[in-house]
């Protein structure tokens, strides 16, 4: 069985006169970005959120890239429920 996780990350963009890590520049926070990870639920139960964040950061928070993503949070992802607004009241849609 699989589980979906949402990894919330801080997006960082390089602002500099040369490539990242060369010359003068800095990383500027550019808001957040969510990533959806589907994995085996047994594997999730044996892996801590800190381990998942570390593995994510190893892959996506690289100082030699123009865009970086630093994992901030890991939580179970539930598919959103659809609702409607009719006559000023919220409800679930009817078939």
Q: Please report, for the chain, the start and end positions of each structural domain, with discontinuous segments joined by +.
A: 2-78
Comparing CA positions, the residue from 55, 52, 92 lying closest to residue 76 is 52
Render the burial of 10-33: b for 16+ CB within 10 Å, e for the rest: bebebeeeeebeeeeeebeeeeee
Note the pLDDT of residue 19: 81
pLDDT digits (tens, 9 = 90+) for 4-31: 999 999 999 999 878 887 778 889 999 9
The model's pTM: 0.82
User: Is the pLDDT assigned to residue 3 strictly greater than 90?
Assistant: yes
In 3D space, the residue among 54, 49, 8 whose CA is nearest the CA of residue 31 turns out to be 8
> What digits encode the pLDDT tens for the residues 42-72?
999 999 999 999 999 999 999 888 999 999 9
Tokens for 43?
């594997």
Residues 71 and 62: their CA atoms lie apart, in Å, by 12
């Amino acid at each position: 069985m699989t589980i979906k996780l949402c990894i919330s990350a801080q997006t960082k963009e390089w602002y500099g006169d040369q490539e990242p890590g060369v010359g003068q520049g800095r990383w500027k926070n550019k808001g957040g970005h969510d990533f959806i990870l589907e994995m085996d639920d047994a594997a999730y139960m044996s892996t801590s959120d800190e381990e998942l964040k570390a593995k994510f950061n190893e892959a996506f928070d690289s100082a030699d890239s123009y865009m970086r993503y630093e994992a901030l949070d890991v939580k179970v992802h539930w598919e959103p429920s659809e609702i409607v607004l009719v006559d000023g009241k919220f409800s679930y849609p009817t078939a």
